Amino acid sequence: MRRSFLLPALLFLLGACLFPAAKATAQRAGDTTSVACPEPRIAELCVELDASSSVDSAAGSLTFHWLMGDGTTLTGTKVSHCYAARRLYTVQLDVVDEKTGEVRTAEKILPIDFTQEIVLNFSATPAVIHPGQPIVFDAVDSQLPLCENVVVLWDFRDGAVANGRRVEHYFRRPGQYPVRMALRGNGPGSCPDSHCVSRIITVTVAP
């Protein structure tokens, strides 16, 4: 997903390497069997910023310092950066005129908002699972930003279901279980109804 910001004198290209966890798949309430749920995808919190269109060789040499809003400072006409947390960041661009030494502080301010993306992802630990062993399922940073009263529903595909962002489950038998996680929102009107993702969990016999 790419977004571009055309600002006076500078063109910023925001390449938000935000891979939405998966293409949203709506479900009806209570339906966890008839709808195909895609696999989760890691949502990378990355941006690319490009100020090359502002470079004017006749104006002399300029140095670009990008304050990324998380304590990181990058230098260059084009920079890329990945954030550690899903938040709203404010990027500040300072420009230095190498000929005069003038520093133009906050030449541009650019908000980078990762909080408004639909995210569908979950983790399962430990990686190796045996029958009767507890496994923790976590919805991590999954979110439906436009929705209120979002609930997280789990279908473990062994006859058991649960709800909550972080749950524990035991599989009684070895096998492969296409565990499903669904996020459901209860409004307002623009809120997506329900979305799900699925991941195969393999339970093996203990050695």
Domain boundary among 82, 113, 144: 113
Beta bridge partners of 151: 184
CATH number, residue 196 = 2.60.40.10
Per the CB < 8 A criterion, the answer to whether 138 and 168 are in contact is no
The verdict on pTM exceeding 0.85 is: no
Identify the band that residue 33 occupies on the pLDDT scale cut at 50, 70 and 90. low
Q: Are residues 83 and 127 in the same domain?
A: no
On whether residue 84 sits in a domain, the answer given is yes
Domain boundary among 57, 88, 113: 113
**pLDDT, tens digit (0-9, with 9 covering 90-100), for 114-155:** 988 888 999 999 999 999 999 999 998 898 888 888 999 999
Q: Are residues 7 and 104 in the same domain?
A: yes
Average pLDDT in the 20-49 region?
A: 64
Q: Are residues 100 and 147 in the same domain?
A: no
Calpha distance 197→122 (Å, rounded): 8
- Pairing state between β 73-75 and 10-14: unpaired
Domain boundary among 92, 113, 134: 113
Instruction: Say which DSSP state 54 is in.
Output: G
Residue range(s) defining the domain that contains residue 11 = 3-113
Select the more confidently predicted residue: 25 or 198. Answer: 198
On whether residue 178 sits in a domain, the answer given is yes
Residue type, 107: E
